[in-house]
Amino acid sequence: MNEVFSLDMKGVSKQFPGTLAVDNVDFQVKAGEVHALLGENGAGKSTLMKMIAGAFSDYTGQICVLGENVELCSPSAAKAKGVGMVYQELSLAMPLTIAENVLAGRLPTKGKIFIDKKAMREQTIECLKRVGLGHLDPFSCIKEISQQEAQLVEIAKTLGNNPNILVMDEPTSSLSREEVKLLFGIIEKLKKQGLAIIYISHHLPELFEIADRVTIMRDGKKIGTYNIDEVTTKSLVEMMVGRPIDDKPIKVKNQVLGEEKLRIENLTRNGFFHDVSFNVRANEVLGIGGLSGAGRSELARGIVGADAIDSGKIYIKGKEVRIKNMSQALEHGVAYLTENRKEEGLALRITIGENILAPLLKKHTKNGIYSAKSGASEVLEVMKELKVYPPDPTVTVGNLSGGNQQKVLLGKWVATKPQILILDEPTRGVDVGAKMVIHDTIRRLASEGNAVILISSDLPELVALSDRVKIMKEGRFIGELIKEDLSEETILLAANGEGDKLSEDIYAS
């Protein structure tokens, strides 16, 4: 008799109308291991995980949990069999308390009518202790705790159901470096308690820290399962994209910088960012680094007029401007790619073409009549450059994979031909292939005499693309790193206010 796996999927498939999202996959996870699941967006990872979570009633193949053949046809069935899911996006109810969230669906009662507050407190603290949050007040609201704590509460909630299998989908995407460390400590602890943990992440270096084994998927099929010491970042990426790649990101030679495109002087929005000054020139990519919550997105929103600023001046090409809203920003040639593509970036229910042309409605309107035709060539052009798949502008954006959605989002702003492009986490949660395409486009834009401001928590990205990096901490610029000093370590140290490479922040042009 073979080893009994915590989860053993044999020949599972899931058909969507017209596509086979998961194609005859075998997938085993042992108790007490962290098993990473890798693949590009659209490779079938999410579908496979939804299958485990009981989201589909019409999959084929066999699923065994702890050696027992089970049918995971509904979320409650999956929960009963010991499957716990922690999703990328928080699924906590913001206005409710921690206790109400953690104990949702199984609130302790007195006489089956009244809520037993005391038991509630005890049980919640019990759960919170497992994720190192024993100090939190179970009756404070989710709104009152930090993003990272909320993420951990989410895990605590899932652990409350005593799962045997814990699925974590991109749990670190919104966490800063230290917070990730903390989370990994907790994962290690859970592993020792005998949980089987399935870990999904696009962040490859993380996997080498935390995973024991890794399974790679591509186009709905399993490519292979390996022990983590059998693979390298390079071999993983090659298996994911299905072709050999150059492992060194192309470091473009220092461009000759052109005229000053944008200058910010003492920009302040009380409570969010203070006295921020910088300039960015043609052909330059200015990185802005810092921990999450440092005020980087707020700064970008302040520049484009999405939020009102309290004081400070903005100069575009040497002329002072006042930007009150996005429409005025666009008129000045400033485009802003927002960090959350699903809420502020793309209208998911309309087509690729409609999304790309959304900022260009005015341009394609003549005598009050709008003509999508006159923009068709522009749409195809950006779709071609960004290799959007499927290459059909009439496809609804919501049906695209995350990577392709992000390409469309960038395409939408590229199509406006901006002189100053502000990018806020342009590659969050996208796969390696999409990332390369997006990086190429950013480089092209900068090399054509535009200015790019890149806000990113992805350190390799910041290092590879930026000409210099401003470091933001608690709403202020605390310094600048020049190209020669750029590395993941220097940025990380600087973001925490340390490191000797950090120059005085005197903005010089």
Nearest to another protein of 415, 478 (CB atom): 415
Handedness of CA 49, 55, 56, 62 (dihedral sign): positive
Q: How far is CA 360 from the centre of its chain?
A: 27
Nearest to another protein of 115, 326 (CB atom): 326
User: Measured from the CB of residue 453, what is the shortest distance to another protein in angstroms?
Assistant: 16
Nearest to another protein of 345, 479 (CB atom): 345
Nearest to another protein of 148, 338 (CB atom): 338
Whole-angstrom Cα distance, residue 73 to residue 57? 4
Please name the residues in contact with 8: beta carbons below 8 A apart, sequence gap of 6 or more.
27, 28, 29, 63, 64, 65, 67
Whole-angstrom Cα distance, residue 428 to residue 424? 9
User: Measured from the CB of residue 190, what is the shortest distance to another protein in angstroms?
Assistant: 32
Residue 51 and residue 13 in contact, taking contact as beta carbons nearer than 8 Å: no
Strands (E), 204-323: 213-218, 221-227, 260-269, 273-281, 285-289, 311-316, 319-321
User: Measured from the CB of residue 337, what is the shortest distance to another protein in angstroms?
Assistant: 9
Q: Which two tokens stand for residue 300?
A: 């970008």
Whole-angstrom Cα distance, residue 16 to residue 239? 24
Nearest to another protein of 12, 346 (CB atom): 346
Q: How far is CA 16 from the centre of its chain?
A: 25
Nearest to 258 by CA among 452, 422, 454: 452
Nearest to another protein of 53, 329 (CB atom): 329
Q: Which two tokens stand for residue 287?
A: 């990185």
User: Measured from the CB of residue 347, what is the shortest distance to another protein in angstroms?
Assistant: 4
Residue 170 and residue 429 in contact, taking contact as beta carbons nearer than 8 Å: yes
Nearest to another protein of 350, 482 (CB atom): 350
Nearest to another protein of 11, 398 (CB atom): 398
DSSP string, 360-413: GTTTTEETTEE-SHHHHHHHHHHHHHTT-SS--TTSBGGGS-HHHHHHHHHHHH
Nearest to another protein of 269, 470 (CB atom): 269
DSSP string, 179-231: HHHHHHHHHHHHHHTT-EEEEE-S-HHHHHHH-SEEEEEETTEEEEEEEGGG-
Q: How far is CA 275 from the centre of its chain?
A: 29
User: Measured from the CB of residue 415, what is the shortest distance to another protein in angstroms?
Assistant: 11
Nearest to another protein of 143, 349 (CB atom): 349
- Report in angstroms the alpha-carbon separations of 362 from 106, 305, 370, 415: 54, 20, 8, 13
User: Measured from the CB of residue 361, what is the shortest distance to another protein in angstroms?
Assistant: 5
Q: Which two tokens stand for residue 282?
A: 């043609």
Whole-angstrom Cα distance, residue 461 to residue 35? 26
User: Measured from the CB of residue 242, what is the shortest distance to another protein in angstroms?
Assistant: 6
Nearest to 501 by CA among 476, 464, 468: 468
User: Measured from the CB of residue 241, what is the shortest distance to another protein in angstroms?
Assistant: 10
User: Measured from the CB of residue 326, what is the shortest distance to another protein in angstroms?
Assistant: 4
Q: Please give the residue ranges that form the binding site for another protein (CB under 8 A).
A: 16-20, 218-219, 242, 306, 325-330, 336, 338, 343-350, 354, 358-359, 361-362, 365, 368-370, 389-390, 392, 395-396, 398-399, 412
Nearest to another protein of 18, 111 (CB atom): 18
User: Measured from the CB of residue 224, what is the shortest distance to another protein in angstroms?
Assistant: 14
Nearest to 69 by CA among 9, 2, 3: 9
Q: Which residues is 265 bridged to in the sheet?
A: 313
User: Measured from the CB of residue 386, what is the shortest distance to another protein in angstroms?
Assistant: 17
User: Measured from the CB of residue 382, what is the shortest distance to another protein in angstroms?
Assistant: 15
Whole-angstrom Cα distance, residue 308 to residue 269? 7
Whole-angstrom Cα distance, residue 199 to residue 167? 6
Burial class (CB in 10 A: 0-12, 13-18, 19+), 364: middle
Nearest to another protein of 190, 237 (CB atom): 237
Amino acid at 483: K
User: Measured from the CB of residue 55, what is the shortest distance to another protein in angstroms?
Assistant: 13
Nearest to another protein of 19, 487 (CB atom): 19
